[in-house]
Amino acid sequence: MTDQPARPPQPPAEGSASPAAFSRRLLLVHAHPDDESINNGLTMAKYAAEGALVTLVTCTLGEEGEVIPPELAALAPDRDDTLGPYRAGELAAAMAALGVTDHRFLGGPGRYRDSGMMGAPQNDRPDAFWQAPLDEAAGELVAVIREVRPQVLVTYDPNGGYGHPDHIQAHRVAMRGAELAARADFRPELGRAHEIAKIYWNCNPRSVVEEGFARLRAAGHSFPGVATVDDVPGVVPDSEVTASLAGDPEYAVAKSAAMRAHYTQIAVDGPFFALSNDLGQPLFRTEHYQLVHGVPGAAAGVREDDLFAGIGEMVGMEESARIEEAAE
Ligand SMILES: [Zn+2]
């Protein structure tokens, strides 16, 4: 089975690029190019298509990734070491597939280098993201938060989903950045303090992951092997999931296209994909979250189906008032 080429969602219709012109603003913080599409591709496509401002901050260029296509093997860090800039291009193509126009690298492209897997010698490089002083890296994110003023932040759980040092560090930087951005006494030169209303961590409900693997085994696929539930990041008991997003099937098509744009890192086969370990796993067409800060927009025990639930109107009014003030 092959995927149809995606019809990318249309970029937001607003005429102005100013964040204040968007009533809903979503910020995502990720470690490497490709993490955003795997974890949140559907969510990003949905909100971009609905006219929200979707801002992606990627912390490294993913220089230490393994290269899947043999014809691109020379990009690898132990050869030409040009994988980082190449992956920046893949990320740009993925963002075009998702309809996301605001994507940035923390501190600018190449400021922080991919740290490699936990325990690798690359962890100790002085330019590795793992070595970055937390408040310095978080300060870079504070500048983005105070500019974009998101109501919702999405990042990983404290283990980074699966223990990669850059994912753990991305989690720390996102959480610390959110805290410092709200403090008026922290680096006022970075802009007016801003408190993010809701913070979510990515997660995958165990029952959905198990069902996905059952589907994969039953369907047949082109991968040399099959991953296990333990290979999937952020698997949690179903009861810990507080929000689940699906929406228009077009968003899942866009997610698949975005994942395919990360050609050096991901092999997509219909509703399944594999990373450089060649192990097939399900490509999820519903994305799940755990609310860890803020007020739930659904009744107790009911999952939200919108990350902005409960905050949209209030914040929209506040911003409209500010825009009117500015226009006077
Ligand atoms: Zn990653």
Tell me the pLDDT tens digit for each residue of 7-36: 444 444 444 568 989 999 999 999 999 999
Over the chain (328 residues), the average pLDDT of each successive run of 10 is 45 61 96 98 98 98 97 96 98 98 98 97 97 98 98 97 96 98 98 98 97 93 92 96 94 97 96 94 96 96 96 56 51
| pTM of structure | 0.91
For residue 62, the 8-state DSSP code is: -
Q: How far is the CA of 28 from the centre of ligand 1 (A)?
A: 13
Q: Give pLDDT tens digits for 144-162.
A: 999 999 999 999 999 999 9
Q: How far is the CA of 126 from the centre of ligand 1 (A)?
A: 19
Q: How far is the CA of 320 from the centre of ligand 1 (A)?
A: 37
Contacts of 123 (CB under 8 A, 6+ apart): 115, 116, 130, 131, 165
The Cβ of residue 112 has, within 10 Å, a number of other Cβ atoms equal to 27
- Which pLDDT score is estimated for 9? 47
- Which pLDDT score is estimated for 107? 98
Structure tokens at 192: 């007016």
Mean pLDDT of the chain: 91
Q: How far is the CA of 50 from the centre of ligand 1 (A)?
A: 27
* 167 marked ligand binding residue: yes
Q: How far is the CA of 232 from the centre of ligand 1 (A)?
A: 12
Q: How far is the CA of 55 from the centre of ligand 1 (A)?
A: 18
Tell me the C-alpha distance between 84 and 76, whole Å: 9
Q: How far is the CA of 114 from the centre of ligand 1 (A)?
A: 9
- Which pLDDT score is estimated for 221? 86
Please give the C-alpha separations between residue 75 and each of 71, 86, 174, 278, in angstroms, as whole numbers. Answer: 9, 8, 29, 19
Q: How far is the CA of 133 from the centre of ligand 1 (A)?
A: 20
Q: How far is the CA of 123 from the centre of ligand 1 (A)?
A: 14
- Which pLDDT score is estimated for 314? 52
Q: For the chain, give the percent of residues with pLDDT over 90.
A: 87
Q: How far is the CA of 277 from the centre of ligand 1 (A)?
A: 14
For residue 267, the 8-state DSSP code is: E
Q: How far is the CA of 31 from the centre of ligand 1 (A)?
A: 5
- Which pLDDT score is estimated for 168? 98
* 103 marked ligand binding residue: no
Residue with tokens 């919702």: 152
- Which pLDDT score is estimated for 322? 56
Tell me the C-alpha distance between 153 and 163, whole Å: 20
Q: How far is the CA of 244 from the centre of ligand 1 (A)?
A: 22
Q: How far is the CA of 233 from the centre of ligand 1 (A)?
A: 10
Q: How far is the CA of 93 from the centre of ligand 1 (A)?
A: 17
- Which pLDDT score is estimated for 319? 54
Q: 243 - beta bridge partners?
A: 289, 304
